[in-house]
Amino acid sequence: MDYHSPASFAEASALAANATGITRFLAGGTDVLVQLRSELVTPDTLIDIKKIDGVSDIISNADGSWTIGVAATGAEMSEHSELGRDWPGVVEAMDLIGSTQVQGRATLTGNLCNGSPAADSVPAMVAAGVTVTVTGPSGDREVAVEEIPTGPGKTSLSKGELVSAVHIPARGEDGGDAYLRFIPRTEMDIAVVGVGVNLRLDGDTVAEARVSLGAVAPTVLLVEDCAKAIIGSTLDDAALDALAAAASAACNPIDDKRGTIAFRTEVAGVLAKRAAKIAYARAKGEQA
């Protein structure tokens, strides 16, 4: 295994483009090292991106948006109180991943590029409208988070491409987000169902919404029917029931020991309602 620690994303991209065999980028390493050890994936080339300037930065931009470095850890995000005030759903989703020790290493970008349908931070990012910069041999492009995963363990990134920054939009007024997941234990498990909701209010009425589901399909889903079910409503019982029905209808889950198809489908609706209520309360400034 060749190990490289390039000083720029362009150099990282060139290394990957010219490498033969299996290439992995190393950010926090909480998935890559597990795969290495279990011999699931033994890279021929390992490219550590943590020596690139600014990769651990969490930057508040002048327009209210946020730029999160690809090596910024979950712990660093949780400790950033302003980020948590703007995007509590995204920060809490990241914070649900693993232990204190894992939080000290794990990153949003790693969680995304690992390609797990059950990745906790991904539905929250999709709901929030997060985009990433992808650096490749032909330059940079901006890609919506929902367009990165293409199936379990697979992404739309081509050879030589890597995520070089994460962009969270400006929170703006009267908005709120939330992420909830179901696991059979109280801590440290992989989502059986995850739901991210992000909305903006006009008075008491939902003016904009994005709803995303995790662990109920081969990729994280952005479900437009869920958003339609609550846009224009005051999140009354009828709208919540329509939201739950739309969430359940979007599910295409697997059946396994951690959750059956029927269970995951039902719970997706229940969690969508609860997450929407939290996001609504946050948008009203009633709940932190």
Partner 1 sequence: MSKFHVSTTVNGDSVEYLCDPRETLLDCLRDKLNLTGAKEGCGTGDCGACSVSVDGRLVCSCLMLGVETDGKQIETVEGIADGDVLHPLQQKFIEHAALQCGICTPGILVAAKSLLEKNPNPTEEETRYWLAGNLCRCTGYDKIIRAVMETAEELREAS
By the criterion CB under 8 A, which residues form the site for partner 1? 1-3, 5, 26, 28-30, 33-34, 36-38, 46, 48, 50, 73, 75, 98-102, 104-105, 187-188
Nearer to partner 1, 81 or 100 (CB): 100
Residue 246 CB, nearest distance to partner 1 (Å)?
34
For the bound state, the minimum distance from the C-beta of residue 149 to partner 1, rounded and expressed in Å, comes to: 22
Task: Tell me the C-alpha distance between 102 and 73, whole Å.
Answer: 9
Which value, to the nearest 10 degrees, does the dihedral of the CA atoms of residues 205, 92, 61, 64 take?
A: 10
CB of 83 to partner 1, least distance (A): 18
Min CB(79)–partner 1 separation in Å: 9
What gap in Å lies between CA 282 and CA 90, rounded to an integer? 13
246 in Cβ contact with 229 (< 8 Å): yes
Strands (E) in the chain, as ranges, are: 2-4, 23-26, 45-48, 58-60, 66-68, 131-136, 139-144, 149-151, 154-155, 162-168, 175-182, 193-202, 205-214, 221-222
Q: In terms of CB distance, is 101 or 156 closer to partner 1? A: 101
- Tell me the closest approach of the beta carbon of residue 115 to partner 1, in angstroms: 18
Residue type at 131 in one-letter notation: T
CB of 74 or CB of 269, closer to partner 1: 74
Distance of CA 85 to the CA centre of its chain: 18
Kindly tell me which of 36 and 281 has the beta carbon lying closer to partner 1.
36
Q: Residue 75: name the closest of 55, 100, 56 by CA.
A: 100
CA 191 to the chain's CA centroid: 13
State the nearest-atom distance from the C-beta of 51 to partner 1, in Å: 9
φ, ψ for residue 15, nearest 5 deg: -60, -45
CB of 96 to partner 1, least distance (A): 11
Spatial distance between the Cα atoms of 218 and 271, rounded to a whole number of angstroms = 19
Whichever of 38 and 257 has its CB closer to partner 1, that residue is: 38
By beta-carbon proximity to partner 1, the closer residue of 35 and 133 is 35
* Residue 256: other Cβ atoms inside 10 A: 10
- Based on CB atoms, which residue is closest to partner 1, 183 or 199? 183
